[in-house]
Amino acid sequence: MARVLSVSGSPSATSRTARLLRHLDHRLTAQGHEVVPLDVRTLPAEALLAADVRHPAITEATALFARADGVVIGTPVYKAAYSGLLKALLDLLPQYALAGKTVLPLATGGTTAHVLAIDYALRPVLSSMGAAHIVPGWFTLDRDITVADDGTLTVAPGSAEALAEVTDRFSLALGGRPALLAATG
């Protein structure tokens, strides 16, 4: 199956966005994909801020993008746009780092006022980076994502169904088997 790079652009160590992505990573793995997580916040800030494309961590992140067949990009929405941390990384990647790749954009935020951030802020950047296919993404309200004390993630039923659907479409675009997973639970 496909190799998927799952990128969290959240700067928070307790990020709902990152937890949601890791939840979806399990679904993609169950569908036969190899999933590689990347939390941008773990990259050295000095390398990101200085645009040091030769820093070993940035070189490795760039290589992860190059090896991926598909990329899931998740970001919290701040001021109607994707995170500055995610922008810092995307700016360091080669111009066509997403060429030939299928991309699933996801966003989280506190209000539906930011729902269009995927289409008006993130999608144009992904397209300019040469993505072959950007599947329909999904915006999830923060209140629909609950993390228990033990770290267990719960997504509100309506959002969970929508996320499963967009994830399955992404998997299908990569040659996955979402219908089999849906039939077996």
The total of structural domains in the chain comes to 1
The answer to whether the CB of 117 falls within 8 A of the CB of 81 is yes
74-96 mean pLDDT: 96
Query: What is the model's pLDDT at position 177?
Result: 63
Q: How far apart are CA 97 and CA 79, in angstroms?
A: 26
The answer to whether the CB of 171 falls within 8 A of the CB of 33 is yes
**What token pair was written down for 122?**
């993130």
pLDDT of residue 128 exceeding 50, the answer is yes
- What is the per-residue DSSP string for 61-95? HHHHHHH-SEEEEEEEEETTEE-HHHHHHHHHS-T
Q: State whether residue 108 is helix, strand or coil.
A: strand
Threshold 0.95, pTM exceeds:
no
Q: Can you give the residue range of the structural domain that contains 105?
A: 3-184
CATH number, domain of 138, equals 3.40.50.360
Query: What is the model's pLDDT at position 66?
Result: 98
For the stretch 34-64, pLDDT in tens is 999 999 999 999 999 999 999 999 999 999 9
Inter-CA distances, 58 with 23, 45, 81, 120, Å: 25, 10, 23, 27
Q: State whether residue 15 is helix, strand or coil.
A: coil
